[in-house]
Amino acid sequence: MNARTPLTPADEAVFKHDIVKLIPHLRAFARTLCGDAAAADDLAQDTVMKAWDARSSFQIGTNMKAWTFMILRNQFYSDKRRSWRQTQLDQDAAERTLLAIDDPASPLALDELRQAMLMLPSEQREALILVGAGGFAYEEAAEICGCAVGTVKSRVSRARKAIQSILENGSYDRDGRGAGEAMKSILDDADRLSGPR
């Protein structure tokens, strides 16, 4: 982004207020990528610090959630490239942020969906989480992922078809977690990730 003039004190106060409101969403998205709660908290904290340092490049009134998610995602992949020992994506945590269903009496179906999501490639899972649970438009998800809108649409479409096939065949790996616990985790994380922008 191009450097902008420093924010006015009023704009800086708005920026600070808005970024504090986004911290739970940043932590939820970081958990979908890191899997480890401590690493996710570190990543979210690093993102807030980077965003604060770059606040003069943010245009007040634009989509801060998309901007900060892009910072977080870029930091995650940058860290991952630097360290081969860093843990892989926590697919289990990623799936818990997918979406909530309207029928709370269906924990088994929701748990099957979570476990089926474990089998998706990370790019498809990430696109589906951003669009499905994060509430982002395809254009916003594309900006966060650094790819074309058509690529995001394709990833989401392929992810949905793959999940349908996996569920129809029952070919997902069971992880032994209780369905009720999985449902609560999915609903809690989806609520944090898909909150107001």
Sequence ranges of the domains in the chain: 9-82, 95-193
d(CA 190, CA 23): 14
d(CA 112, CA 68): 31
Q: Is the pTM of this model over 0.85?
A: no
Q: Is 9-82 CATH 1.10.1740.10?
A: yes
59 closest CA partner among 98, 3, 123: 3
Q: Specify the CATH number for 95-193; select among 1.20.1740.10, 3.40.50.300, 1.10.3720.10, 1.10.10.10.
A: 1.10.10.10
So what's the pLDDT on residue 109? Answer: 64
- pLDDT per residue, tens digit, the chain (197 aa), is 445 567 788 888 889 999 999 998 888 888 877 767 788 889 999 999 999 998 888 888 888 998 999 899 888 878 776 654 444 445 554 444 444 444 444 556 666 777 777 788 888 888 887 887 677 888 888 888 889 999 999 999 998 898 888 888 776 666 555 555 554 554 455 555 444 54
So what's the pLDDT on residue 163? Answer: 85
So what's the pLDDT on residue 169? Answer: 79
Tokens at 116, concatenated: 């089926």
Tokens at 83, concatenated: 């360290």
d(CA 167, CA 87): 27
Q: Where are the alpha helices (DSSP H) in 35-121?
A: 37-53, 64-82, 91-95, 107-117
Give the 3-state secondary structure of residue 1: coil
So what's the pLDDT on residue 152? Answer: 92
So what's the pLDDT on residue 174? Answer: 62
**Which amino acid is residue 165, in one-letter code?**
S
So what's the pLDDT on residue 194? Answer: 47
